[in-house]
Chains A and B, each alone.
Chain A
Amino acid sequence: MPKDAFVIEKNQFSSWLKKLQESFQLIGPVEKEGHFVFSLIEEVNDLVMDYDTTMLGPRKFIFLPEEKICTIYQKDQGFTIKKVQDVPGQLLIGVHSCDLHAILVLDKVFLLKSFQDHNYRLRRENTLIMALNCTKVCPTCFCSSMGTGPFVELDKGFDFLLTDCGESYLIESFSEKAKDLLLPLNLPQADDSLFKKKEQLFQELKGRFIKNLDTTNLVQTLLENQDHPVWQRTAEERCLGCTNCTMVCPTCFCFNVKDKISFDLKECDRVRYWDSCQELHFAEVHGANYRSSRKARLRQFVTHKLATWVEQFGCFGCIGCGRCMYWCPTHIDLTEMAKEVQKSNFKRMREDGYA
């Protein structure tokens, strides 16, 4: 049993959040037009903590859909650069395990390779994460297959962890900042029975998953089958090239850069915005487009998330949230494509003389 585990009544939780609102921007799940979205919380009562999944993951508050990288001032004698310096402190509330893993994946992309992304680091350092153990299984989600949920089994990279225990939350702290924020509340320590209940909830939930993906040898199988007919067929029959999958994916990190110049031409905002490998011009250079077919772009999405990501960052790029297939206009399902490749491994069949 962790030392820093307490019980907080839901009423007290709400009033505590109202207090935190004085020092943080609160971000959490709210209902919007029949779906849930992560949004800036003005009224704490708007929070919907028993949501199933949100349209976009919380990445949009750390790696913004569009953000200024820097301002370049042009003078006679050269350039002056002003980087983005001030970002608000924010608290992400109710982040499910899959989305928490997605943020940790983005950390690997932007912070843990050879260069640290300036803007991402700034926002990440000013973000506290209050994770929430998920209680709902969606028809499209498969976090249990990807090892990213439904309960948070990590011990760092976030600040709080909530488990819904009916009238109250079990709240555990995983960072110094979190401890300091909980201290003034004088909460009662959580006892063994709560942890037993948590474990029980976890076991119950694990058995309810509808969608599964067997990840054994998945990387190798996909890489050996880059010419598998499933890519061509799915792309031709169903992919509209709309880029929805990459927009809603909580681990997609690609961006494009655009300069916005002031009318007097002296000031230039360098802005970046989410880009998508599903977009026709994504891999275009002078005289060539290396992914000009939808087949190539669809294969790039699936094999990146489920195969090449592992070599790049040591983890899958898919955290099993199911958003890509839910928001796809034709509900293209990457697990189905992966399964088809697993079922008819053409490389192997060719080697055995069958295809």
Chain B
Amino acid sequence: MVMPDTLAFKTARIVDIFQETAEIRSYFLSLEEEEDFQFTPGQFNMLGLPGVEEAAISFSSLAQPGNNFFMHTIACVGNVTSLIERMEIDGKLLIRGPFGYGWPTEEIVGKDILLVAGGVGLAPLRPFLLYCLEKRNQINNLYLVYGARTPEEMVFQKDLMDWQKKEEISTIYCVDKLPEYSSLLPNVGLVTHFLEDLQIDLSRALVCMCGPEIMMRFVARKLLLQGYSEKDLYLAMERRMRCGTGHCGHCQIGAKFVCQDGPIFQYPDIKPFADTML
């Protein structure tokens, strides 16, 4: 068997750019050479440009069969992302991917699904949420609890409003501070305050969370206290990555390579290791 090479670069063209918040943008991209580009919710690409190396960024869109479009939602805070921030439509990015294991799409049948996201952490969860909506008739209840510091810092505002209106999904949005007017009408408080009183049967629960590690720490602990089982919790881990292919060593958490064994982990697989906030 010929194993994939580490240097399989692809060129992606920026098709469209949406400003999500002051420092977060979504980039709608299409591959130049390939007609069909498939990936699963939760996977990521190494996005790069000559001169600034690469950064690992999750897909924030759901792959569509037979086309080569995909979306990344990027907080412009590092070398790569700040340079991408300055790019315009038709600009070209050098990417490698898709890498990693995504959300448990095989596990959703008959489940009560709870998605918990914080800040830009909604981006890696969005494709899974869209996937759940597509397969809505196969699952039981579907919840999204999404928190951000302020309503302005919430990403995918249009989606958030759509989902708020939909019957297929129950949403709880919350912020630390509420301004006088907000179209989303979010609650005030941390996501951990809104995890009770959900119609979730613990025997068929599936929780997927993505956000700051400190948020995931308390969400996981709160849910475990409420009687959720450890194996039903899935978390998205973020670590520094230089290769995406399990070689550079930067993303290791104990015995796990976040790039290859993750970035989505079942809680018991990642909990035993040191150097996380979980």
Contact = CB atoms under 8 A, between A and B. Distances in A.
Contacts of A56: none
A253 B7 contact: no
A331 to B, nearest CB: 25
B50 A115 contact: no
Given A118-B6, A226-B274, A283-B240, A268 B250 contact: no
Nearest to A308: B255
A255 B245 contact: no
Contact of A79 (B7, B11, B75, B212): B11
A268 B245 CA distance: 21
A244 interface: no
B247 A109 contact: yes
B50 to A, nearest CB: 4
Interface stretch (A8-16, A25-33, A164-172, A257-265): A257-265
B275 interface: yes
A259 B6 contact: no
B238 to A, nearest CB: 6
Given A257-B242, A286-B78, A296 B274 contact: yes
Interface residues of B, number: 42
A290 B260 CA distance: 19
Given A118-B7, A253-B249, A311-B255, A285 B52 contact: no
A206 B17 CA distance: 67
A79 B276 CA distance: 38
A285 to B, nearest CB: 5
Contacts of B254: 223, 303, 308
Given A113-B260, A283-B275, A290-B276, A255 B9 contact: no
B4 interface: yes
Given A308-B255, A311-B255, A257 B248 contact: yes
B230 interface: no
A100 B50 CA distance: 36
Most chain B CB atoms below 10 A, which of A257, A284, A287, A300? A257
A202 interface: no
Majority DSSP secondary structure for residues of B touching A: loop
Interface residues on A, range: 35 or more
Contacts of A110: 247
Contact of B240 (A81, A261, A285): A285
Nearest to A74: B50
Contacts of B7: 69-70, 81, 83, 118
B112 interface: no
A131 to B, nearest CB: 25
Contact of A288 (B52, B213, B247): B213
Nearest to A269: B50
A115 B54 contact: no
Contacts of A118: 5-7
Interface string B232-270: 000000111011011111101111010010000000000
The 6 closest A-B pairs by CB, nearest first: A254-B249, A268-B50, A311-B255, A308-B255, A115-B245, A226-B274
